[in-house]
A and B are shown apart, each in its own frame.
Chain A
Amino acid sequence: MSDKTPVTVLTGYLGSGKTTLLNRILSDEHGKKYAVIVNEFGEIGIDNDLIVESDEEIYEMNNGCVCCTVRGDLVRVVQGLLKRKGRFDGILVETTGLADPAPVAQTFFMDDDVRAKAQLDTVVALVDAKHFPLRLKDAPEAEDQVAFADVVILNKTDLVNEAELVKLRATIRKINPHAVIHTAQRSNISLDQVLDRGSFDLDRILEDDPHFLDVHNHDHPDHQCDPDCDHHGGNGNGGGGDGGDGEAHAHGDHHHHDHDCGPDCDHEDHKLDSNTHDVTVKSISLRAGEMNHQKFFPWINKLTQIDGPDILRLKGIVAFEGDDDRFVVQGVHMIVEGDHQRPWHADEKRETRIVFIGRNLDREKIERSFQACVAA
């Protein structure tokens, strides 16, 4: 692990419960110190010198491309916070309800001074269970926030019935197949599900993402493991994700109450809630065998350069021909980073899997160009 201060970004449309969650993080006895950057002190009921108010300042760095926008105020505030050593265990950034999460995330990759001291940990999206279907119709921001998130907290579930909840999960899955989904009421989520997740950390990326590694989603669309299903022994239990491969789905005690649509599900005839028609974000999951690295890197660079504005997030594991180590990639719009993660396990299938989440993505073109990178 690096000694950089982890930063958690908290998004969520108006009324989704961000303030309640922040108040919990500030008041709970978790033994850690978090600085919280908010747009308005507003409802935060705690007077605390760890809360910083900051006006959202969107800076376009190069000719106004969406991929090059950062939060100028965060550059300043984060640097100010981190001049003093060991002052915080982490930083939380609350965005406004209407915010696009990309500039916040990009700040931690594009600004050299910030990147030297802080590291984006996780993007969390809070979703108001009662109003999310409506938001999908009238607020593209709400959909973007879910699409962008690593962790989605489906909040206020006490206000909806079981059937609605099933549909909501399916809708969220449709927007974002690899986010971890938790349910909550009054933001009563265990904080270790939110903080210090390492979602952007290439050493940890995808390790506890059962959906990403579950290769069976297409074969058993009606038999999906729920994202917050506990059947891999809780998160961070060492390679919970690795077990997702193969027929590791034999969990006798698994409750199949939530019939999720698989992450790759693209069934147009699926009997989802009509809200799904309002979903404009798509995900494209690619899978192949071993890649030729001389073809793969130019491909992903070109793709993200050209389609970057439409790509919200990407994550993947790559198996390269003649390489004993897993290679992992993650990206935000045009920013892509990748690194070797660990050796492939002997019982692991050497397979390449990448998920793109975005708008207007040409599935056929991306799939075809991806397959052209397969090692001969």
Chain B
Amino acid sequence: MAIIAPYDFDEHVELATFVDDQPAFALVDGTVRFPTYNQQVFEANVGLLCAERSQDYASLVTGGEDGRVMRVGLQGVEQVAEQERKWIDVVSCGPNNAVGFAAGRTVWVATKDMVRQFDHQRAVEGIAFAPKGMRIACSRYNGVSIHWVASQAAPVDLHWDGAHTGVVYSPDGRYIVTSMAENALHGWRLDNVKSAEGAHMRMTGYPAKPKSLSWSPKGKWLASSGAQAAICWPFAGKQGPMGKEPKELGTRADAIVTQVACHPVEDVVAVGYNDGMVMAVKIEDAAEALLRRPGKSAISSLCWDRRGDRLVFGSEAGEAGLITVSE
């Protein structure tokens, strides 16, 4: 059984998440809304471009057309950084409230006591902190650059031709996986990047761009959007997914998956589609449970709460909701 509390914001939902257990929605008009917490609305940016929840679930961080990086919690908004007249294209949250953000070809990392700058030859479209937060991976055209956050040591460059738009570290830090503009994922085994063949993992076959990536607990599976089903690649073995078939979950003939979110405890994936439908699917047997019927537009963000009892979603047309799942 699933119970939905619907919200209608009339603006593209960039991020739907939980902050201190309260549903939180960051909209592209620059507002962050907490509909269950005094219906609180904060103005974070003049035009919001990106947002991510902090790792401790206590705040979310936004980046905007106004060049500002803002942290928003239940109590209000504070500025993390500002780059005048730049669009903040991407933000990423690391351990200890570190924030990585990029505008064009420059990446900055803001920690409690410093802001560091990392320049690149090409625009950076994705940032991911390594699990311990010592390093950041920046995806860009033709690969990924991995920097040490606290030292000036030269970055490690992982090369693969093409436009890498997003990037994630596996929870154990052994893999880096990027989403590519040309409808594929590309991965590297970090323990083996020196060897030419061993390092690369090419995951293809998507009819659309696989923009949404989510790791199952302990990194056993990597779920991805961009096909008629959520494509789940097995990462449990030593070789990662190479030579193995991915699982296809929640297959529909007439829709494309736009968002995936792995359950925090169980091997279950929440799947959002381009027609607004949301399902929960078990990875093991692909058993499906409908959580939300199709709506007006594509699901643009999807997130479980920390225990996995509740799920929030948002869509491109601004429909959103809180889904409470019970057995």
Choose from B47, B86, B182 the contact partner of A61 (Cβ within 8 Å).
Answer: B182
- The answer to whether B316 and A49 have CB atoms under 8 Å apart is no
Min CB–CB distance B101 → chain A (angstroms): 14
Rounded to whole angstroms, the CA-CA distance of A76 and B163 in the bound complex is 12
Q: Mark B8-38, 1 if CB is under 8 A from A, else 0.
A: 0001101000000000000011000000000
Choose from A52, A61, A80 the contact partner of B181 (Cβ within 8 Å).
Answer: A61
- The answer to whether A41 and B85 have CB atoms under 8 Å apart is yes
**From A52, which residue of chain B is reached at the shortest CB distance?**
B87
- The answer to whether A61 and B28 have CB atoms under 8 Å apart is no
Q: Mark A105-130, 1 if CB is under 8 A from B, else 0.
A: 00000011100000000000000000
**From A54, which residue of chain B is reached at the shortest CB distance?**
B104
Choose from B11, B86, B161, B163 the contact partner of A72 (Cβ within 8 Å).
Answer: B163
- The answer to whether B141 and A113 have CB atoms under 8 Å apart is no
Choose from A49, A80, A113 the contact partner of B46 (Cβ within 8 Å).
Answer: A49
- The answer to whether A72 and B141 have CB atoms under 8 Å apart is yes
Min CB–CB distance A336 → chain B (angstroms): 21
Within 8 Å CB of B162, what residues of A?
A: 59-61
- The answer to whether B122 and A84 have CB atoms under 8 Å apart is no
A57-B181 in contact given A83-B316, A112-B209 (Cβ < 8 Å): no
> Taking the complex as formed, is B199 at the interface, i.e. its CB lies under 8 A from any CB of chain A?
no
> Taking the complex as formed, is B105 at the interface, i.e. its CB lies under 8 A from any CB of chain A?
yes
* Residues 55-76 of A contacting B (Cβ, < 8 Å): 55, 57, 59-62, 72-73, 75-76
> Taking the complex as formed, is B123 at the interface, i.e. its CB lies under 8 A from any CB of chain A?
yes
Q: Mark A44-57, 1 if CB is under 8 A from B, else 0.
A: 00000100111101
> Taking the complex as formed, is B49 at the interface, i.e. its CB lies under 8 A from any CB of chain A?
yes
Within 8 Å CB of B125, what residues of A?
A: 72, 76
Min CB–CB distance B85 → chain A (angstroms): 7
Min CB–CB distance A96 → chain B (angstroms): 15
A57-B65 in contact given A52-B87, A84-B11, A113-B209 (Cβ < 8 Å): no
A84-B12 in contact given A55-B104, A62-B182 (Cβ < 8 Å): yes
- The answer to whether A80 and B123 have CB atoms under 8 Å apart is no
- The answer to whether B85 and A72 have CB atoms under 8 Å apart is no
Q: How many residues of A sit at the interface, in one of the four size bands? A: 20 to 34
- The answer to whether B122 and A57 have CB atoms under 8 Å apart is yes
- The answer to whether A83 and B141 have CB atoms under 8 Å apart is no
Within 8 Å CB of A55, what residues of B?
A: 104-105, 123
A53-B85 in contact given A59-B163, A72-B141, A112-B209 (Cβ < 8 Å): yes
Rounded to whole angstroms, the CA-CA distance of A77 and B90 in the bound complex is 12
Interface residues of B, CB < 8 Å — how many?
27
Rounded to whole angstroms, the CA-CA distance of A55 and B103 in the bound complex is 10
- The answer to whether A72 and B65 have CB atoms under 8 Å apart is no
Choose from A52, A61, A73, A111 the contact partner of B123 (Cβ within 8 Å).
Answer: A73
Rounded to whole angstroms, the CA-CA distance of A53 and B103 in the bound complex is 10
> Taking the complex as formed, is B208 at the interface, i.e. its CB lies under 8 A from any CB of chain A?
yes
* Residues 74-122 of B contacting A (Cβ, < 8 Å): 85-87, 89, 104-105, 122
- The answer to whether B46 and A84 have CB atoms under 8 Å apart is no
- The answer to whether B141 and A59 have CB atoms under 8 Å apart is yes
Within 8 Å CB of A52, what residues of B?
A: 65, 87
Min CB–CB distance A300 → chain B (angstroms): 25
Within 8 Å CB of B141, what residues of A?
A: 57, 59, 72
Choose from B89, B105, B161, B182 the contact partner of A76 (Cβ within 8 Å).
Answer: B89
Q: Mark B186-223, 1 if CB is under 8 A from A, else 0.
A: 00000000000000000000001100000000000000
Known: A53-B85, A83-B12, A112-B208. 19 other contacts (CB 8 A): A52-B65, A53-B87, A54-B87, A55-B105, A57-B122, A59-B162, A59-B181, A60-B162, A61-B162, A61-B163, A61-B181, A61-B182, A72-B163, A72-B181, A76-B123, A77-B87, A80-B87, A83-B316, A84-B28
* Nearest 6 interchain pairs by C-beta: A83-B12, A83-B28, A59-B163, A57-B123, A55-B104, A80-B49
A sample of 18 inter-chain contacts (CB < 8 A) reads A41-B85, A49-B46, A53-B87, A55-B105, A55-B123, A57-B123, A59-B181, A61-B162, A72-B125, A72-B141, A72-B163, A72-B181, A73-B104, A75-B181, A76-B89, A76-B123, A84-B29, A112-B208
Residues on B close to A: CB < 8 A? 11-12, 14, 28-29, 46-47, 49, 65, 85-87, 89, 104-105, 122-123, 125, 141, 161-163, 181-182, 208-209, 316
Residues on A close to B: CB < 8 A? 41, 49, 52-55, 57, 59-62, 72-73, 75-77, 80, 83-84, 111-113
